Amino acid sequence: MKNMKTALMQKKYFLLFFIVSALSFAILYVLMFLAIYDYSLDLYIEMNGLSYTVATLFLSVIISVMLGVYASTVFYRFNAAQKNDVKTGAAGIASVAAGVLGTGCPMCGSFILGLFGAPLGLLFFPMKGLELKIFSIIVLSASIFLMSKNTASCKTK
């Protein structure tokens, strides 16, 4: 964890963290409203409730920030000329995919799930797809931990 903090203190990795976090939140935000008429936040709140909307946005922010930390850690490790770990890389990609699948309007349909033929798939989950975002956060935090742990144990040139 110490090396992860050291990486984020460096200007280029902090800039990467900020860009990845902002870009991923923008993508998740757009995907949230893609199936709604007029891309209206008011309509989204009316259809799904204020608590669900706040939870969705909050979890999207957490996923975005964690993705920024993950990307910075991966690039720090890559630039330190250390061997890339396939297991933590695959887990990080899988967690982001789960977060993206859980993004959308349960009532109107998820754009990404619509590409797979199940646009109203979020309605079948007990928490309307929030569990996919929570799963994404758990796996992404494990990936960040393993990546920073591996970074700390490797020697640099």
CA-CA distance, 135 to 96, in Å (whole number)? 10
Q: Could you say which DSSP state residue 106 is in? A: T
Average pLDDT (90-107) is: 61
Residue 60 or 146, more confident: 60
The predicted-structure confidence for 44-98, as pLDDT tens digits, reads as follows 888 888 998 899 899 989 989 988 888 888 888 777 655 555 455 556 666 666 6
Question: Would you say 62 and 141 are in contact if contact means Cβ atoms under 8 Å apart?
Answer: no
Q: What percent of the chain has pLDDT over 90?
A: 10
* Nearest alpha-carbon partner for 103 in 116, 112, 93: 112
* Nearest alpha-carbon partner for 132 in 20, 15, 10, 28: 28
Q: What percent of the chain has pLDDT over 70?
A: 62
Average pLDDT (147-155) is: 57
Q: Per residue, what are the HEC states of 35-59?
A: CCHHHCHHHHHHHHCHHHHHHHHHH
